[in-house]
Structure 1
Amino acid sequence: MKLSNHSAVAIRAAALVLLLGAALPLAAQTAIGGADTIPPTVPTGVVGTAVSATQIGLSWNPSTDNVGVTGYLVYDADTGSTIATTTTTSFTHSGLVPGTTHNYRVSAFDAVPNQSPWTDPPVSVTTPVPDSTAPSVPTGLTGKAVSRTRIRLSWTASTDNVGVTGYLVYDADTGSTIATTTTTSFTHSGLVPGTTHNYRVSAFDAVPNHSPWTDPPVSVKTLPLDTTAPSTPTEILASAVSSSQINLSWAASTDDVKVTRYIVRRDGVKIAAPVSTSYADTGLSAATTYSYTVAARDAAGNISPNSTNVSVTTASAADTMPPATPTGLTGAAAGSSGANLSWSASTDDVGVTGYIVRRNGVQVATPATTSYTDTGLSAATTYSYTVAARDAAGNISPNSATASVTTGDTPPPPSNSAGLTWDSVTDPNLSGYRLYFGTAPGTYLQSVGQGTSVGNATTYTITGLASGSRYYFAVTAFDTLGIESDYSNEVFKDIP
């Protein structure tokens, strides 16, 4: 058999398809061999849900195809017609009658189009019946005037077969709804003091179905305008607790409604508005007199008359400043056993109360004046003195410049004298010694505390004694506070 050139080409093309067929995918085979005749797979997992009383939502798993799925047909099995074409795997059927049942099938198609069989069995979905049941009537409606311009309403929650969405508040006097709220309370504001208002409440659901209004209306009257001032505060107490603070307290005032604050005035100027019946006034000046009054105020702004005036003076400021250092210290020998000292007065912000005299660095006296005589010294001996000033707060100035004094030579004792010596007392607060004597044992011419003061010396010569008499002697020590020791052992001497 002789083949034409055309036949040979056709045979070669067919052979090529046969040779390559086992190695190419189906789509390629179809493209090479001819038209696509393979439909997509049947959609699976079709689910229908009523999303409202008039809408049903459908969804399914995507189909597969040898070339590609182009879209889907949605079929209404009740009417026997295709109701939608979609490229997605879902569809919402709208405009339905509430409470009706609908049956659906789905088919996939490709570009040819090859169409898959319809899903089987149909998916059946019923739209819900509309909610026509209203919530129950709210109960327990109460109202209370919370101020002259506000009324607060509250009630018990209603119930509903689906759910209560909110409440309407109705003003029975104006015939209008004045509020919509999702809670079981409402505050009506901006009212006129002393006026009466009547209220009803209704509950509603999402449809919305409305319950009947509460009946009878609840009647509430706002509080009348308050024009009565509180009583005047009494029993005002004030005390200075420091140099910069005064504490105040008073008896509570009364009011026909309520006292809300007090007004504290210092020297006629308002300085505070405390809620309580006390106040601490701080930041004051030391040693200064202040005058206070207190008035009461209520919520309406009514203010009582001022209380009686009370005055108090702050304490003086703590004195921490020492006096000025004494100047002009001079000293001169007073015989062989004494030294006379004098200096210029120091100054102080409050006042100098005394001076501290130190001999060779040891305190020997605390005179109040600007001079001192140091006695009982050793003859022909040089002593160094300083003076410091002291004030009432105990502040002490630095020591003055040093003044030195050399005592004179010891003169021969007169025949009617007695020279005494004793052991020193070791005490940091020692101020000096006192000498006592008399003509009978244990009985002295000087009373306790009035003995002859000899300073810190441990030797002393008594002169002017009566000839032909026996004298008895004793010594005491005393400190800077004036506390005196007991008598020392007693000695005697016969005066020729």
Structure 2
Amino acid sequence: MDLAWPPSSDNVGVTGYRVFVNGIPYILLSPVAHQKIAGLTSGAYYWVFVRARDADGNLSAPGPVTVFKTTGEAPCPPPLAPTNVGITPLTSTSVQLRWTLGVGEMTSGTRININGEYKNIALVSSWTLNDLIPEMEYSIRLHTFDYFGQLSESSVDLIYIPKDTQPPSVPKNLREIASSSDSVTLAWEESTDDIGMCGYVICNNREYFDTTPLTHYTAVDLLPGTYAFDVCALDISGNASEPASIAVEIKS
């Protein structure tokens, strides 16, 4: 295979190029911007990239990755598909994916395909998927791949919809900051949530009283007496925190 690329430039001068094949240095220093790659296996996939080297020995960032397949038939049949695929929820936005690696000669790893985008990983049998969006549907398929780039048939499709079950933190430092003969103003510290906050629910004597998006609230038209106020944080998925509580006395 003949590989060529545009020449690089540098303030002290480019002395050559390092060529990588399947992540391994193939040529430590090529003086020209082209290289013949020899000794490859027929019917196999390869990926290559190039890094430029300057006169001070500095290497550039890797150039674009090029993937190609040699002609002919691969020396072994494709591997079998992964089996025993399962999902274990970890948080509202992450899961652990697990499977049994497909059997085959020269098996190299597993390709995880999620909603049409894929990631190749090495010889492991579990992987954590992060940054999932609650209530969004994810279609997950797995393939085994071998050294020659051959893919197995797909595993059974998995459909997973993350659920936000994590409540926000309890409002801290609930306190009375002002009062009158028929009102009281409460304040508290802002709660946090892994997905997003919606607001706060105010309860009076264990019964629903009002909601607010703010971290303070004024209850009005109160009669003289003692009131037990609870404040719960509410996230955008409808999960409520444990309440913060305070007793307030309204004097005539």
Q: What is the TM-score when the length of structure 2 is the normalising length?
A: 0.47
Q: In terms of Rg, which structure is larger?
A: 1
Normalized per residue, the structure richer in strand is 2
